[in-house]
């Protein structure tokens, strides 16, 4: 099933292989996508669907050095190179909108931007900066209602710019400890207003963004990535986590969004997302369901055949293998990963991995 097309009212894909979002820090210092990035994504266009690296809808969300944004004309032009490269090879591509919230350091933000989050607690751990090396995360300012409204509007504007740039849709990044998950997670969200306290309150920010984005570009062009039971960015499980994510999945299903994308980091050593949680989310959401996290061809085929997913996402294999789809089809071994070049500028370890034909 992995190599068969998927045709739904929202998605028309050549196969069921998804390229996961992979932050690679190859944008310019001004957070503009480059021709090198267009080459990289074009090389991987045989994936049924490409989800881009995390891309900020706001200057405040540029938590890491050299990650792309999508909130000005120069960034739209840069991304247009990417979408043209993918579409010219018959691929489909959506942009992942990722606001890092409190997961940042001020040295990574442009002038005038600030660190914000649902609460004023500092994210544990450190953040790499190009100018100061590793630094503790900067203290966030707790967002006011005006800040929340402005941020929802930033997502809407970025989604509109995504369509202008030629993307087939957007993925709202509500996983990995970034801003939307900071509101979703009871260990981070300490608010006592209508955006905290309860399941409904913690889900409110995510759903306001989803509803507004759907209204702006259409439900068939919107997806959301989730990582229930994830631990990144000081998140972690809490007593109502399963009930909360089921309520969120049900609400997203009612909105008619194109897909939800559930990530399990267990392959990297974190606690697994319980299978019961994944199955419950699958049952609650009536649209396309993507699973991600440590899959190979055999486990992906099993997930599809068992009805546990409609699409399966692969991350690291696509770093080292532009032709990962062909390698899986033919049973060919993959290239060795060069982890030293995961986040460094330039073509090395980015566009120079060989294909089976080179």
Would you please indicate which residues are annotated as catalytic (active-site) residues?
178
For 325, counting Cβ atoms within 10 Å of its Cβ (0-12 exposed, 13-18 middle, 19+ buried), the class is: buried
Task: Determine contact, residues 180/172, Cβ cutoff 8 Å.
Answer: yes
Distance separating alpha carbons of residues 259 and 290, to the nearest angstrom: 7
Q: Are 136 and 107 in contact (CB under 8 A)?
A: no
- How far are the Cα atoms of 22, 154, 334 from residue 281, in angstroms, in the given order? 24, 28, 32
- How is the chain split among helix, strand and coil, in percent rounded to 5? 35, 15, 45
Asked if 193 and 73 touch (Cβ cutoff 8 Å), the reply is no
- How many other CB atoms sit within 10 Å of the CB of residue 296? 12
| Residue 10 Cα to chain centre, angstroms | 18
Backbone φ and ψ for 148, nearest 5 degrees, come out as -60, -45
Residue 103: CB atoms within 10 Å = 27
Evaluate whether 188 touches 121 at the Cβ level (below 8 Å): yes
Distances (CA, A) of 285 to 3, 8, 21, 245: 23, 15, 22, 11
Q: Give the span between the Cα atoms of 20 and 171, in whole angstroms.
A: 11
Q: Which positions ≥6 away from 129 have C-beta within 8 Å?
A: 65, 105, 107, 108, 135
């Amino acid at each position: 099933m992995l190599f068969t097309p998927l045709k739904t009212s929202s998605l028309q894909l050549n196969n069921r292989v998804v390229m996961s979002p992979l932050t690679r820090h190859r944008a310019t210092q001004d957070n503009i996508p480059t021709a090198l990035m267009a080459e990289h994504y074009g090389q991987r266009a045989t994936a049924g669907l490409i989800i881009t690296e995390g891309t900020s809808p706001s200057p405040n969300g540029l938590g890491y050095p050299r990650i792309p944004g999508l909130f000005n004309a120069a960034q739209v032009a840069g991304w247009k190179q990417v979408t043209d490269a993918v579409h010219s090879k018959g691929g489909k591509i959506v942009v992942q909108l990722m606001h890092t919230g409190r997961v940042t350091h001020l040295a990574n933000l442009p002038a005038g931007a600030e660190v914000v989050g649902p609460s004023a607690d500092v994210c544990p751990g450190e953040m790499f900066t190009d100018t100061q090396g590793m630094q503790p995360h900067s203290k966030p300012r707790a967002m006011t209602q005006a800040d929340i409204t402005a941020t929802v509007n930033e997502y809407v504007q970025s989604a509109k710019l995504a369509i202008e740039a030629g993307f087939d849709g957007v993925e709202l990044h509500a996983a990995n400890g970034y801003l939307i998950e900071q509101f979703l997670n009871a260990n981070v969200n300490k608010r006592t207003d209508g955006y905290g306290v309860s399941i409904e309150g913690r889900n409110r920010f995510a759903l306001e963004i989803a509803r507004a984005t759907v209204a702006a570009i259409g439900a068939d062009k919107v997806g959301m990535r989730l990582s229930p039971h994830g631990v990144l960015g000081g998140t972690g499980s809490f007593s109502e986590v399963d009930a909360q994510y089921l309520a969120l999945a049900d609400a997203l299903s009612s909105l008619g969004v194109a897909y939800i994308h559930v990530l399990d980091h267990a392959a990297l050593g974190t606690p697994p997302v319980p299978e019961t949680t994944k199955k419950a989310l699958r049952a609650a959401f009536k649209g396309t369901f993507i699973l991600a996290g440590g899959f190979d061809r055999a486990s992906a085929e099993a997930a599809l055949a068992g009805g546990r997913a409609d699409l399966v996402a692969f991350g690291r294999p696509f770093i080292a293998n532009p032709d990962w789809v062909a390698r899986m089809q033919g049973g060919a071994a993959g290239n060795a990963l060069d982890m030293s070049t995961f986040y460094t500028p330039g073509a090395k370890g980015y566009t120079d991995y060989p294909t089976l034909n080179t």
